[in-house]
Amino acid sequence: MQFRRVAVTGVGVVASCGIGKDAFWKGLLSPVEDVERRVHDFDPSLYFENKKEARRADRFSQFAFAAAAEALEQAGEIDAAPTRRGVFLGTGIGGLTTVEEQIINRHENGDRRVSPFLVPMMMANAAAGGLSMRYGWQGPAENTVTACAAGTHSIGNGARWIAADRCDAVLAGGSEAAFTATALAGFRNMTALSPNNRSMPFDAKRNGFAMAEGAAVLVLEEWERAEARGATILAEVMGAASTADAHHITAPSPGGAGAVNCMELSLQDAGLNAEDIVHINAHGTSTPLNDAAEAEAINKVFGHKPIVTSTKGVTGHALGAAGAIEAAAIVLAMQHELIPPTAGHDELDPDMPEIDVVKGEARPWTPGPSMSNSFGFGGHNGTLILGPAGS
C-alpha cells in the first residue's frame, strides 16, 4: 500500500509556562518561576461565543478549544471536504474537574442539584466531539484514553488516517485538566508526585513528577494538498508506534523492554535507522523507575546517543496532554533551531546508562528526524517521529 506523506501546518498550545505557542516557547527557555504547573490567567470565554457556553465545557475541553483555534489560525484555509476532515484528541482522565465538583454538589445539596451537563462535560470524548461540531469536521472524530501516552497516540493515529487516505486534514493532540484535590491525593499517596513539586528529569536527586495541566493540537494535512494550497509546512509526521509492556499497571517493564520495542517499531514505520535520529524529547517524568527504564531503553536502541531533553522540567507532567505538548515543542525546536534545556536537571543519575541530556542552556542544532516518547500507566507506550519540513 502506498502511504501518503503527512504535513504539520499548524500548532496550538496551552501550557503552564505559556498560553499560545510563542509564550510556550519563551517559557521553555526561561527559569521555572512557579512550581505549581497550573495554567494561570486562562480566560475560556475568549474561545466560546459567551460565558454560558464556556461554563458548559469542562476545563480540559476549554484547553482543547483554545489550542485548536490557534493551530487552525496558523494553518490557514483548509480546502478539504468536511467528510475528509477528522479529529483525534487524547486525554488521560477527561472531565475530572466537573466530576469532582458535581459529586461534592450532590453530597451537599442532593440529587436534584446535580448539573444536567455533568455527563456531556465529563465524557473523555467531549473535546473531540466538541471540536468536530465547532468547525463542522464530519470525518472521524475520536479520542484515545491511554493515560500519559494519549496525546502521542492521538497524533500517530490521526496521521495514519491521512497516510491511509481516510482523511485529508486532522486536528490531533491531547488535553488534560486533572488538578483536583482527589486526583492529587491519589497520585501523592501512590508516591508518584514529587513531595517538593520539583521536576528533575534524569537527575540523581529526582523524586517524582510535578503535576501539570494543558493542551496542544497540531493541524495535520496530506503533504501534496498542503503544498498545493500554499500552506507553510512546519514539519512532517514520519512515523509512529504503539506497544504495551504487559508487565505492571504503573511500573515500566524491566530494562525498558516495551519502550525499546516501541522506539524500534516507530523507526520501521518511518523507514529510518537508529543513527538517523538527531533528537529525542523524552517522556522523562522525573520518577525514579520511569527515567531509569527510559534511559536504558534509549541506550539500547541508539548507540550514537542522540540529543535528549525533557521539557517536563518546565511544563511538569500534563498526563494525557503531555505527548501532544512535547510534539509541539519539537516542531518549535525545529523552527527556532534550538533544543530547550532540561530544567531541574543538574547531574545525571550515575546508576543510569549515559545519555546526552541538554542542561543549563538551549542547544543550537541542525534540525533532523526527532523522536517523542510517551509511556503511560497501564503499560501503554507511544513513540512519534517528526522530521523538519525540508527533509
Q: Each residue of 162-173: pLDDT tens digit?
A: 999 999 999 999
Which positions ≥6 away from 340 have C-beta within 8 Å? Answer: 28, 29, 309, 311, 314, 329, 333, 358, 362
Strands 279-281 and 18-19: unpaired
Residue 63 pLDDT > 60, yes or no?
yes
Q: Which fold has domain 6-388?
A: Peroxisomal Thiolase; Chain A, domain 1 (3.40.47)
Percent of the chain, pLDDT > 90? 96
138 pLDDT tier (thresholds 50, 70, 90): very high
The grid coordinates of residue 92 equal 488521560
Burial status of residue 316 (CB atoms within 10 A of its CB: 0-12, 13-18, 19 or more): buried
The grid coordinates of residue 20 equal 499560545
Q: Each residue of 293-337: pLDDT tens digit?
A: 999 999 999 988 999 999 999 999 999 999 999 999 999 999 999
Percent of the chain, pLDDT > 70? 99
Q: Each residue of 216-246: pLDDT tens digit?
A: 999 999 999 999 999 999 999 999 999 999 9
CA 359 to chain centre: 21
Q: Each residue of 334-373: pLDDT tens digit?
A: 999 999 999 999 999 999 999 999 999 999 999 999 999 9
Q: Which helix (H) or strand (E) holds 9?
A: strand 6-15
Q: How far are the Cα atoms of 287, 337, 347 from residue 350, in angstroms, in the given order?
A: 15, 30, 8
pLDDT (average), residues 374-391: 94
Q: Which amino acid does the sequence have at 274?
A: A
DSSP code, position 184:
H
Q: How far are the Cα atoms of 89, 160, 202, 235, 306 from residue 295, in angstroms, in the given order?
A: 28, 28, 8, 26, 12
pLDDT of amino acid 35: 79
pLDDT of amino acid 391: 62
pLDDT (average), residues 200-208: 97
- Contact yes or no for 24/18 (Cβ under 8 A): yes
pLDDT (average), residues 21-45: 93
pLDDT of amino acid 80: 97
pTM check: above 0.95: yes
- Backbone angles phi and psi of 182, in degrees to 5: -70, -45
Strands 235-244 and 18-19: unpaired
40 pLDDT tier (thresholds 50, 70, 90): very high
DSSP code, position 125:
T
DSSP code, position 44:
G
pLDDT of amino acid 253: 92
Q: Which amino acid does the sequence have at 345?
A: H
Any idea of the CA torsion for 171, 286, 188, 27, to the nearest 10 degrees?
Answer: -50
Any idea of the CA torsion for 262, 307, 211, 189, to the nearest 10 degrees?
Answer: 60
pLDDT of amino acid 303: 83
Question: Any idea where the domains of the chain sit in the sequence?
Answer: 6-388
Q: How far are the Cα atoms of 61, 221, 230, 250 from residue 84, in angstroms, in the given order?
A: 23, 10, 19, 38
DSSP code, position 57:
S
pLDDT (average), residues 201-213: 97
Q: For all residues of the chain together, what is the average pLDDT?
A: 96
Which positions ≥6 away from 267 have C-beta within 8 Å? Answer: 239, 273, 274, 276, 277, 301, 385
With both helix axes pointing from N to C terminus, report the angle between 126-135 and 59-75 in degrees, rounded to the nearest 10: 40
Find cell 537508529 and name the residue.
274
Strands 18-19 and 6-15: antiparallel
Catalytic (active-site) positions: 148, 283, 317
Return the SS3 of 219.
Answer: strand
Residue 1 pLDDT > 70, yes or no?
no
pLDDT (average), residues 149-167: 98
Q: Each residue of 77-103: pLDDT tens digit?
A: 999 999 999 999 999 999 999 999 999
By C-alpha distance, which of 240, 200, 252 is closest to 370?
240
The grid coordinates of residue 285 equal 517524568
